[in-house]
Amino acid sequence: MDGCDRERVCLRCAFVIRSALATCLVVSLWAAAGAQADPMPPVASIDPGHGTTVTATTDSIPFTLTVPNTRMGGVFAEISTQNVPGQDGTLADDYRVGTVEMVSGDAEPSVYRGTAYGQGYSGSWTNKPGTYYWQVTGYDRSSFRRYVGPVWAFSIAVDAAAPSEAERAYWRQACRSRACRVTYLLRRVRTIQRALDIATTRRATRRLRSRLRRVRRQLSAASRSANRACDRADALGQ
3-state SS, residue 63: strand
Tell me how long the chain is: 238
For residue 151, pLDDT over 60 is answered with yes
Is the domain of 69 the same as that of 151? yes
At 20-65, the pLDDT tens digits run: 444 344 444 444 444 457 888 888 899 999 999 999 988 899 999 9
Is the domain of 86 the same as that of 5? no
Structural domain count, the chain:
3
* % of the chain with per-residue pLDDT over 90: 54
36 neighbors 62 (Cβ within 8 angstroms): no
Q: What is the pLDDT of residue 232?
A: 85
pTM passes above 0.75: no
Q: What is the pLDDT of residue 11?
A: 41
Is the domain of 65 the same as that of 131? yes
Is the domain of 41 the same as that of 140? yes
- CA 136 – CA 155 distance, rounded (Å): 17
User: Pick from 157, 173, 192: which residue ends a domain?
Assistant: 157
For residue 230, pLDDT over 60 is answered with yes
3-state SS, residue 41: coil
For residue 98, pLDDT over 90 is answered with yes
Q: Where are the beta strands (DSSP E) in 67-141?
A: 72-80, 96-101, 103-104, 111-117, 130-140
Diameter of the chain by CA atoms? 113
User: Residue 20: what residue type?
Assistant: A
User: Pick from 139, 157, 175: which residue ends a domain?
Assistant: 157
Question: What CATH number should be reported for the domain holding residue 84?
Answer: 2.60.40.1220
Task: Provide the mean pLDDT of the chain.
Answer: 83
* % of the chain with per-residue pLDDT over 70: 82
Structural domain that includes position 24 = 1-36
Of 95, 71, 74, nearest in space to 83 by CA: 95
With cut-offs at 50, 70 and 90, classify the pLDDT of residue 5. very low
Verify cis geometry, omega within 30 degrees of 0, for the bond prior to 85. Answer: no
Is the domain of 173 the same as that of 137? no
